[in-house]
Structure 1
Amino acid sequence: MQENQLTFGVHDPTIIEEGGNYYLFSTDTGQPKTSGVPIRWSQNLRDWNFIGQALPEVPKVAEEWSSATGLWAPEIVRYRDEYRMYYSASTFGSTRSYIGLATAKSPQGPFHDQGLVVKTSPVLCHHNAIDANVVTDKTGKQWLLYGSFFGGLYILPLDNETGKPSVSGFGKCIARRPESVDTAIEGGFIYYNPKTNYYYLFCSYDSLNDSYNIRVARSRYVDGPYVDCKGHAMDDLTHEPDDIGMKVLGSYHFSGEKAVLAPGHNSIFKRSNNQLFMIHHARRKVFSDEFFLNIRKLEWLSNGWPVVSPCLYEEDCKQKLLGFAGKWHVIYFDETNGTQESLLEMIEDKDYQKISDNEFSWQGSLVKTWLEMVDGKPQQVFSGMTSKGYGIIARKF
């Protein structure tokens, strides 16, 4: 796929749709050289243009508390006729952090700062106020999911009318990791699926520089407990830390193509036609600023777990689905943090069992197949879950 240069420099992305237009908000990375929160615009989720920034300067109170020089990990939601952008102000490695709220009448702005939502410091608590995600539960009540490495992920009830906490305190911890892995968890996002009646907690494990990977667990209740497909709770410190959470996506390399490294900090975007997408960033080189936007279709297996496309989204493919048998390049994810290389697999009719028109059981894995457009041509893909509870993606050649 030809890469859009204007999607380079995108970190911690989130998208909102308004009137057939898409607006992308992301961390201030200095690419392009602006301050505040960069805003990009598209009409097709593929071709993006930089149109300005929200909050060109770090709000004074947030700057005084955090010493931040830029803003991180914005969350953009619409409530009635108001657009609410939650932003994080902090410095790398610090828990003296601040989540604020800014509002506007349009996703293009101008945004006006409405002040503090939650702040943290080593004196106040043991966790970190960054990476906001606003969750609307099945009753319509809103919650704030936030947190990172230090202390884990927390969820706090909001007042829908103000967009700010409805109770005092910091909320409830719903996911954390042990000191043995540097407590490395961040970038949480909760999506409620009405068809399964589960809340799904997506989050990123490990280092954003080289070993980021996206995990998921689920719960019947918005404030947890969140449990993975193996029965492990996301706040469990007794099992092997890399075995907790279904790994949906990690670093991978299809033969003959560029590697996708350290995918993480995802959001989930529902388009007006109800198609779901996972929005995240990834790198071309580890420990570099060569990060870029990834938009992938998100689908559901019949067992109620989400899977994502092995291809970046170009456009919808309306051609007829091909048969499942054939030659596939397959990526298996597991508990390791390395870059997974594609393996050539020849699948014959005798090797799989058909579950439905586009879902199959193969070698203990449950997989769903569909067509994607890749460089303007249809290509069959599949994505699923292995028997050990890890993600698997593949492309047919």
Structure 2
Amino acid sequence: MERTLRLNDTDVSENPAVWSHDPSMMWDPESRRYYSYSTDVYRPESGLCEKRGIPVRSSDDLVHFKYEGTVLSQKAAEEGADNGDYPETEGFWAPFAEYVHGEYRLYYSATKAFGSSESRIWLAVADGPLGPFENRGVVVDTWGTDDTYPNGIDPHIVRDGGKCFLVYGSFFGGIYIKELDEKTGLPADKDPRSLGKCISRKPDDATSDGPEGAAVIYVPETGYFYLFQSYGWLGDDYDIRVGRSRHAEGPYTDVDGADLRGESMGLKLAGSYCFRAENPCVKTDENADGNADRNADGNADRNTDENGWEWGGIRGPGHGVPFYDPVSKRYFFVHHFRDGASVNRVYDEEEQRASYTVHYMMVRPMFFVDGWPVFGPEPYQGEKFEPLSPEEAKGTGEGLTFAAADNRMTFSGETEMEDAEGCTGNCVIYRCPDFENGGTVTVVTGIDNSGLAYWKKFMYSIV
């Protein structure tokens, strides 16, 4: 089966998933295409983001994407970047777009400076998904507030009982929800300085940064709203967590019923991880289709070019959005991650932590077991998700479990599945392309008896 997401390929024209940070996803019923908007990233040598103004990628199938350029008008970008007596905002963050009431709405963040809690969320509108988008107004304004208040970044939209809400914020004060006017997309109380209601904040004993990058979706099949958020250091040990509630405004709780407002970080669904990889999907000098070259023993050559790239796992998956696809009628989760190859590692002596600098967008399938979401272990590549029985996942394989409090890299270990125990009602089994090894693999995703999310891979074939 085809593998379209390639590592070690930083040319956005050839590999559109690269340099996508904080990606969103929108289905456009007019053009019948998917559009993913992301944070401004400047990589002129790779043909990306020739100007400030929100990059966008389009797709017909959620597998093959095309980089389309930026969507804000020059006027909108200049207005959004204007910080008065302070230097201009260099780039805009974490956009979210939707098609509603016959117009395209794009919410995006403009901050005073990196690491500042003084920011604004703008709403821009357009007649088409590629823009140009023109500013309608400010939705949230946290300028002049201190770090105990929420940060006006990371917008996401959810609806409940005929009301429209903006979800936003970061580890400065937590995640907040605020009602908007459905007709205009602007604040219902017409005051961008009003903050709304806190729905998540960091527990006092938590050692990870966060939460941030929040998004909420309602799932009719379960009757719950799900709040997804990220904890950890953005450049290395970022993760994805979730809580749920019967109401958009909360309260959101974890699998044990602990409140996400200071009691729990939520159920951890993904973090930095490393499966075994004999044939990771990468671009090589000799072979651009993502299949690594073979050495004399028939094994893949992990050092694929002169810069010494070598498989190092997936680092820091996070800041994503849940997405319901009305075409396939399936749920997905779209997030960025970082290539864990050591050639991409930069160590900050002052902060005493590492960062992995090359990032990509990944579309993952999302399923629900016992009322909780779980992610597919492999990127979505157009598979049909035909369900398999536990008997079809017997034998030796590899697996990993995401510990709730430990954000270090999770390595896979050998696992055995001899019977159906633990895989009835609380897991999903299917076959899909194997990103790490090529061929097709049987995968299992679920929540174990301890309330931890886990992934397993069985019977992979090298091709």
DSSP 3-state at the match of 1:3: coil
Report how far residue 109 of structure 1 moved. Answer: 1.3
Is 1:385 paired with 2:447? yes
The amino acid that maps onto 1:135 is V
DSSP 3-state at the match of 2:22: coil
Match of 1:199 among 221, 225, 229: 225
Residues 131-162 of structure 1: per-residue CA shift (max 9 Å, x gap) = 0001122x232100000121100000010001
Is 1:164 paired with 2:186? yes
The amino acid that maps onto 2:83 is E
- Distance in 2 between the 1:320 and 1:99 partners? 42
Write the mapping of 1:302-381 to structure 2, written as runs, cut at 5 A.
303-317=370-384, 321=388, 323-334=392-403, 335-349=405-419, 352=421, 355=424, 359=425, 366-374=426-434, 377-381=439-443
Write the mapping of 1:70-219 to structure 2, written as runs, cut at 5 A.
70-90=91-111, 91-123=113-145, 126-137=149-160, 139-167=161-189, 168=191, 169-178=194-203, 181=207, 184-219=210-245
* Structure index of larger Rg: 2
- Gap change, CA 1:71 and 1:61, over 3 Å in 2: closer
* Greater mean alpha carbon deviation, residues 258-267 or residues 378-387: 378-387
- Gap change, CA 1:61 and 1:298, over 3 Å in 2: closer
* 1:263 aligned residue: 317
* 2:248 aligned residue: 222
Report how far residue 385 of structure 1 moved. Answer: 1.0
- Distance in 2 between the 1:290 and 1:43 partners? 25
Match of 2:79 among 60, 77, 89: 60
- Distance in 2 between the 1:338 and 1:143 partners? 34
Report how far residue 386 of structure 1 moved. Answer: 2.1
* 1:300 aligned residue: 368
Residues 20-49 of structure 1: per-residue CA shift (max 9 Å, x gap) = 311111000114132210011111222221
Instruction: Say if 2:387 and 2:429, in contact at 8 Å, map to a contact too.
Output: no
Report how far residue 210 of structure 1 moved. Answer: 1.1
Report how far residue 165 of structure 1 moved. Answer: 1.0
Is 1:290 paired with 2:307? no
Is 1:8 paired with 2:27? no
The amino acid that maps onto 1:28 is D
The amino acid that maps onto 1:3 is L
Match of 1:43 among 47, 52, 60: 60
The amino acid that maps onto 2:314 is V
Report how far residue 186 of structure 1 moved. Answer: 0.2
Report how far residue 183 of structure 1 moved. Answer: 5.2
Report how far residue 103 of structure 1 moved. Answer: 0.5
Report how far residue 116 of structure 1 moved. Answer: 0.9
Report how far residue 244 of structure 1 moved. Answer: 3.1
* Greater mean alpha carbon deviation, residues 267-276 or residues 124-133: 124-133
Instruction: Say if 2:101 and 2:183, in contact at 8 Å, map to a contact too.
Output: no
DSSP 3-state at the match of 2:242: strand
* Greater mean alpha carbon deviation, residues 368-377 or residues 95-104: 368-377
Residues 357-384 of structure 1: per-residue CA shift (max 9 Å, x gap) = xx4xxxxxx3221222336844211111
DSSP 3-state at the match of 1:352: coil
Instruction: Say if 1:333 and 1:391, in contact at 8 Å, map to a contact too.
Output: yes
Residues 75-98 of structure 1: per-residue CA shift (max 9 Å, x gap) = 001112111000000121111201
* 2:458 aligned residue: 396
The amino acid that maps onto 2:374 is V
Report how far residue 320 of structure 1 moved. Answer: 7.1
DSSP 3-state at the match of 1:128: coil
Instruction: Give unmatched runs, 5+ long, in structure 2.
Output: 7-14, 281-310, 346-354
The amino acid that maps onto 1:215 is R
The amino acid that maps onto 1:109 is G
Percent sequence identity is: 34
Normalised TM-score (structure 2): 0.78
Residues 248-305 of structure 1: per-residue CA shift (max 9 Å, x gap) = 111100012541110000101111221111000000135132010110000010x100
- Distance in 1 between the 2:89 and 2:384 partners? 43
Q: Cα RMSD (Å) of the superposition?
A: 2.1
DSSP 3-state at the match of 1:29: coil
Instruction: Say if 2:442 and 2:457, in contact at 8 Å, map to a contact too.
Output: yes
Q: How many residues align?
A: 380
DSSP 3-state at the match of 1:64: coil
- Distance in 1 between the 2:363 and 2:231 partners? 19
The amino acid that maps onto 1:261 is R
Report how far residue 318 of structure 1 moved. Answer: 6.4
Instruction: Say if 1:204 and 1:264, in contact at 8 Å, map to a contact too.
Output: yes
Instruction: Give unmatched runs, 5+ long, in structure 1.
Output: 238-242, 360-365
Is 1:277 paired with 2:323? no
Instruction: Say if 1:190 and 1:201, in contact at 8 Å, map to a contact too.
Output: yes
Instruction: Say if 2:315 and 2:356, in contact at 8 Å, map to a contact too.
Output: no
Instruction: Say if 1:144 and 1:156, in contact at 8 Å, map to a contact too.
Output: yes
- Distance in 2 between the 1:353 and 1:117 partners? 46
- Distance in 2 between the 1:116 and 1:319 partners? 45
The amino acid that maps onto 1:299 is F
Instruction: Say if 2:23 and 2:319, in contact at 8 Å, map to a contact too.
Output: yes
